[in-house]
Amino acid sequence: MKFQLKNIVAVMAIALAFTSCSDDDNNAITGEGNLKLEFDNVYGDADFAFNTPYTNSNGEVVKASNAIYIVSNIVLTKEDGSTYTVPKSESYFFVNEADAASTLLNLPNIPAGNYTKVTFGIGVDQAQFNAGADGQGTMWSDAQALGMTWSWAAGYKFVKFEGTVTSATHTNANYRVHTGKTGDVYNYAEVTLDLPDNALVRTNITPQVHIMADLKKIVDGTTVINFEEGLDVMGGTKVQNISANNVPTMFEVHHVHND
């Protein structure tokens, strides 16, 4: 009888433990939390730093002095396939290599859950642009302060990558690569990244997704820019090719912190 009683007590203890764990899990995925996206710029296999020489596949040596891109329209996907779209008014960021604080995006009020993917745009989508200055808050003035605008008709610069280049006929010549709307083509790029580990958003856990951004691919990706053909790359098919072919491949998730 004592043996049976001990067994019954043990079984009840185990059942209670499972119930407690289950309750904890259920409680853990309710409410809201924060999620952070960290953008870490590199250049090919090297860490990125201003005024550092990097040799491209065509033998041109670039030294960058300015690197900014607009991250927008962030969407998070849960493991069950459902999505959460960050409100558009809270989903435009200027990632500026010269400003370390700008490379860490804090996303508040995210529904608790296990997230497996992140999608974002590079640039300003057509709907947002068509909303006009009144529909964009301080975004236009913020962009102007960073040199990320053309005229209002031309709109925003989506990517700005500038510096000097040394090539067959140039020695430390100034180059400028700016992507954005060209004519009626918006050149807005969208990126979807799988997370190597789930981002566990909880009321007491703020995941940080570490995204590597390879700036080399702006000018030396599927489309290779040859500065011998021109030091300013700001329009036409070259910008369209950079936006369509190079920019979407710049990003990959290195790891996820669930702290």
pTM summary value = 0.88
Where helices occur in the chain by DSSP H, the ranges are: 2-28, 126-130, 139-145, 216-219, 236-241
Tokens of 100: 């370390």
- Strand stretches in the chain, DSSP E: 32-43, 46-47, 54-55, 61-78, 83-85, 92-96, 104-111, 113-122, 157-166, 173-180, 189-201, 207-214, 232-233, 251-258
Residue 196 · residue 209 · CB < 8 Å? no
**Structure confidence at residue 19 (pLDDT):** 44
Q: How many CA atoms lie within 13 A of 210 on its CB side?
A: 9
Q: Which residues of the chain have pLDDT under 70?
A: 1-28
Which amino acid would we find at residue 43? Y
Give pLDDT, residue 154.
81
Amino acid 232: pLDDT:
98
* Tens digit of each residue's pLDDT (9 = 90 or more) over 49-91: 999 999 999 999 999 999 999 999 999 999 999 999 999 989 9
Model pLDDT, residue 96: 98
